[in-house]
């Protein structure tokens, strides 16, 4: 009898792999019945990972979105699945134990059936508790093997990992080939080894198509016993996304597998609706390079889900770097030149920091470290001069055990900075937090929500949630979208100034300019008078300025005395809060940037006098 292969539409990941944002809930509800009508899917990926953060970033409540979005699939008998980051929950940084436990209760109540649990380090200490929490909440616990290609990531390594997860109670196993660099034959051997352990354990394969292996890999894993395959659909298939459902379905049918037919009328209707979403606003955040397969991706092994945001971020980094080059009489770099330099540096950095599988958040850590190194070296500086604390946490073992050995070059750097390597359970570093957030919500007069879902969202994404509640997130998104639309409409015309500096009674003020009638954020920022005694603290990178990274920190103010090495503020860039430290003992005389304000590299953000 022909083996039955079931298909899963990774709708959320399709968008994350293409760009920065996800569809609005009204758009999701419009396409849901059409996806059902296609008739070929047993599962649909409805939420997880960055999905909820981006809802907040453009001013939409993700709890409402998840409840509304999962409902039509339940009614049609299609399972819903999500992606979760184990110790990190749905965010880039680790979570408290009580928040992790609430996570699964909320998602089950909202209508999510399956949680795909993964740890970017494949550390079972992070995955196994989530298996337990998910099953206690009534969810199907699918434990993931984060696939990569390195001397330490062997077939035996992955089969042994699957054995631990199955023994810990995992209901299913996923081969999460997040960069699409798993070699087809090796992947087939991993699936065969898992099925030898337990023939009845469902195995699902997830791969991005950018490097070019994905279709061959799908065929190989199916020949060795895989049960579910993740697919995408046009116009968001291929490239940094996933193989198209039509190609996969036809290939598997030809190979003798039983696969459901596709209602092509519904497929074309869904394709049209996705294009309408792109035309509405999502396409403004989907760089064209993400739509292309590129075997250059094999070398750095960067995941498809990260490439969506990477190309958007890269535009800003390239612009900032080229401004510096122009100012210093150096030739500018093209996007391709910067991309190749970045890929080469990722290949250099990755072994140095212990071969972490390049998946969120560790893919961002390695990529960010590489990009910082490239930027520093392009400016004639040395590697490692910018090394954020969050990346140090990975290197030092605070997030889990690295698969490989940390290079002596990094160990010497850690010793010079007084940093200590640890081997304790990562969860021990992050105490319970829900009581604290309950108290904050009560103080603000905010309801904790149905099934405590608003409490969950606030504790999981505090900065984004506060910006959502205040309306700041929506205002910033709409302003950015208007700017992108105007840039497209006015392509080729002269660029209008974004700010001016005026002198008011001897004090200089930087004023942002609005061309659409909206009030720009951060107007009237005071600028120190020329020739004053204060020294500039420039932004070393472009990003969003914050005085603190969380509510536990007390923000600095004018008049504060600081020591060399003290953290002055943070710049959030590429999903990481980068600490900006004082270069000398002194006193803060001015703080020029406002919380949440976007600053460019080399913008003066603070002024200080020396002690």
What tens digit of pLDDT does each residue of 361-376 get? 788 888 888 888 998 8
pLDDT for the residue 297? 65
Confidence of residue 517 (pLDDT cuts 50, 70, 90): very low
% of the chain surpassing 70 pLDDT: 88
pLDDT for the residue 112? 97
* Residue 37 reports pLDDT greater than 60: yes
Confidence of residue 305 (pLDDT cuts 50, 70, 90): low
Using CA atoms, how far apart are residues 587 and 544, in angstroms rounded to an integer? 23
Residue ranges and CATH numbers for the domains of the chain are 6-284 (3.20.20.70), 299-429 (no CATH), 499-610 (2.40.50.100)
pLDDT for the residue 518? 46
Using CA atoms, how far apart are residues 94 and 471, in angstroms rounded to an integer? 26
The listed range with the strongest mean pLDDT (264-278, 280-294, 464-478) is: 264-278
Cβ contact 473:58 at 8 Å: yes
The listed range with the strongest mean pLDDT (450-464, 568-582, 593-607) is: 450-464
Using CA atoms, how far apart are residues 3 and 5, in angstroms rounded to an integer? 6
Using CA atoms, how far apart are residues 172 and 169, in angstroms rounded to an integer? 9
Listed in sequence order, the residues at least 6 apart from 340 whose beta carbon sits closer than 8 Å to its beta carbon are 296
pLDDT for the residue 527? 44
Cβ contact 242:14 at 8 Å: yes
pLDDT for the residue 426? 92
Which residue do the tokens 């004090």 mark? 507
pLDDT for the residue 529? 43
* Residue 522 reports pLDDT greater than 50: no
Instruction: State mean pLDDT over 497-503.
Output: 53
What confidence tens digit (pLDDT) does each residue in 310-358 have?
Answer: 666 677 778 878 888 888 889 998 888 888 888 889 889 989 998 888 7
pLDDT for the residue 530? 42
* Residue 190 reports pLDDT greater than 80: yes
pLDDT for the residue 286? 82
Instruction: State mean pLDDT over 185-190.
Output: 98
Tokens representing 571 are: 């710049």
The listed range with the strongest mean pLDDT (13-17, 440-444, 509-513, 540-544) is: 440-444
Using CA atoms, how far apart are residues 475 and 519, in angstroms rounded to an integer? 10
232, β-bridge pairs: 244
Confidence of residue 6 (pLDDT cuts 50, 70, 90): very high
Indicate the SS3 state at residue 428: helix
| 557-591 exposure pattern, b = at least 16 Cβ within 10 A, e = fewer | eeebebeeeebbbbbbbbbbbbbbebeeebebbbb
The answer to which of 63-67, 291-295, 313-317, 566-570 has the lowest mean pLDDT is 291-295
Q: How far is CA 562 from CA 106, 540, 572, 574, 591, in A?
A: 43, 19, 22, 27, 14
What confidence tens digit (pLDDT) does each residue in 221-246 have?
Answer: 999 999 999 999 999 999 888 999 99
Which residue do the tokens 């990003």 mark? 543
pLDDT for the residue 306? 55
pLDDT for the residue 335? 82
pLDDT for the residue 143? 98
CB atoms within 10 A of CB 292: 11
- Cis before 361? omega within 30: yes
Using CA atoms, how far apart are residues 20 and 257, in angstroms rounded to an integer? 36
* Dihedral pair phi/psi, residue 179, rounded to 5°: -105, -5
What confidence tens digit (pLDDT) does each residue in 91-105 have?
Answer: 888 999 999 999 999
What confidence tens digit (pLDDT) does each residue in 411-437 have?
Answer: 999 999 999 999 899 999 889 999 999
- Cis before 235? omega within 30: yes
Cβ contact 589:534 at 8 Å: yes
Q: Is the sign of the CA dihedral 208, 213, 215, 218 positive or negative?
A: negative
* Residue 2 reports pLDDT greater than 80: yes
Confidence of residue 77 (pLDDT cuts 50, 70, 90): very high
Burial (CB count <10 Å: 0-12, 13-18, 19+), residue 255: middle
Confidence of residue 81 (pLDDT cuts 50, 70, 90): very high
The answer to which of 63-67, 335-339, 402-406, 445-449 has the lowest mean pLDDT is 335-339
Confidence of residue 565 (pLDDT cuts 50, 70, 90): confident
* Residue 566 reports pLDDT greater than 50: yes
Cβ contact 42:8 at 8 Å: yes
Confidence of residue 528 (pLDDT cuts 50, 70, 90): very low
Which of the pair, 534 or 305, is modelled with greater confidence?
534
* Dihedral pair phi/psi, residue 213, rounded to 5°: -85, -20
What is the rounded (10 degree) CA torsion for 449, 453, 455, 460? -160
* Residue 127 reports pLDDT greater than 90: yes
* Residue 52 reports pLDDT greater than 90: no
- Reported as half-sphere exposure (CB side, CA atoms, 13 A), residue 413 has a value of 17
Indicate the SS3 state at residue 438: helix
* Residue 479 reports pLDDT greater than 90: no
Cβ contact 113:71 at 8 Å: no
Cβ contact 94:426 at 8 Å: yes
Confidence of residue 521 (pLDDT cuts 50, 70, 90): very low
Which of the pair, 394 or 446, is modelled with greater confidence?
446
Among 111, 172, 165, 102, residue whose Cα is nearest residue 140: 172
pLDDT mean across residues, the chain = 87
* Residue 126 reports pLDDT greater than 70: yes
């Amino acid at each position: 009898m022909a083996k039955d292969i079931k298909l899963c539409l990774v709708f959320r990941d399709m968008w994350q792999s293409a760009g920065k944002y996800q569809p609005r809930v009204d758009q999701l509800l419009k396409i849901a019945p059409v996806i059902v009508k296609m008739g070929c899917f047993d599962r649909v990926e409805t939420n997880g990972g960055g999905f909820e953060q981006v809802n907040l970033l453009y001013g939409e409540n993700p709890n409402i979105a998840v409840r509304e979005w999962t409902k039509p699939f339940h009614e049609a008998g299609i399972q819903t699945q999500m992606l979760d980051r184990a110790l990190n929950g749905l965010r880039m940084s680790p979570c408290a134990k009580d928040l992790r436990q609430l996570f699964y209760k909320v998602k089950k109540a909202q209508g999510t059936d399956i949680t795909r649990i993964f740890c970017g380090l494949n550390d079972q200490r992070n995955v196994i508790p989530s298996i337990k929490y998910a099953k206690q909440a009534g969810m199907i616990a699918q434990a993931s093997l984060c696939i990569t290609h390195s001397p330490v990531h062997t077939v035996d390594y992955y089969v042994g990992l699957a054995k631990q997860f199955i023994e810990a109670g995992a209901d299913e196993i996923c081969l999460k080939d997040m960069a699409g660099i798993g070699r087809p034959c090796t992947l087939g051997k991993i699936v065969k080894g898992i099925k030898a352990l337990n023939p009845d354990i469902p195995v699902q394969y997830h791969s991005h198509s950018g490097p070019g292996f994905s279709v061959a890999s799908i065929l190989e894993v199916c020949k060795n016993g895989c049960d579910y395959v993740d697919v995408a659909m046009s116009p968001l298939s291929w490239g940094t996304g996933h193989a198209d459902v039509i190609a996969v379905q036809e290939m598997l049918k030809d190979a003798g597998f039983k696969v459901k037919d596709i209602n092509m009328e519904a497929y074309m209707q869904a394709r049209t609706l996705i294009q309408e979403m792109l035309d509405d606003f999502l396409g403004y955040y989907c760089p064209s390079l993400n739509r292309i397969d590129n075997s250059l991706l094999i070398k750095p092994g960067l995941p498809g889900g990260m490439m969506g945001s990477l190309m958007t971020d890269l535009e800003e980094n390239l612009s900032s770097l080229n401004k510096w080059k122009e100012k210093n009489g150096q030739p500018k770099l093209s996007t391709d030149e910067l991309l190749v330099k970045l890929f080469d540096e990722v290949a250099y950095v990755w072994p140095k920091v212990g071969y972490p599988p390049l998946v969120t958040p560790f893919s961002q850590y390695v990529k960010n470290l590489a990009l910082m190194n490239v930027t520093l070296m392009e400016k004639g500086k040395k590697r490692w001069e910018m090394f954020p604390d969050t990346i140090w946490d990975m290197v030092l073992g605070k997030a889990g055990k690295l698969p490989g050995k940390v290079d002596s070059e990094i160990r010497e750097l850690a010793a010079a900075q007084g940093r200590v390597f640890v081997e304790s359970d990562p969860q021990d570093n992050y105490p319970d937090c829900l009581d604290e957030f309950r108290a904050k919500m009560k103080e603000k007069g905010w309801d904790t929500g149905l099934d405590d879902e608003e409490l969950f969202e606030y504790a999981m994404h505090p900065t984004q949630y506060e910006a959502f509640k205040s309306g700041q997130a929506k205002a910033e998104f709409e302003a950015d979208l208007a700017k992108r639309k105007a840039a497209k409409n006015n392509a080729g015309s002269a660029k209008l100034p974004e700010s001016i500096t005026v002198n008011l009674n001897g004090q200089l003020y930087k004023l942002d300019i609005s061309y659409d009638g909206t009030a720009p954020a951060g107007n009237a920022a005071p600028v120190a008078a020329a020739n004053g005694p204060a020294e500039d603290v420039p932004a070393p990178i472009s990003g969003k300025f914050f005085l603190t990274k969380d509510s536990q920190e007390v923000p600095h103010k004018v008049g504060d005395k600081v020591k060399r090495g003290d953290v002055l503020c943070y710049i959030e860039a590429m999903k990481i809060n980068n600490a900006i430290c004082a270069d000398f003992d002194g006193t803060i005389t001015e703080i020029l940037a406002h919380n949440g304000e976007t600053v460019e590299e080399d913008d003066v953000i603070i002024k200080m006098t020396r002690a």
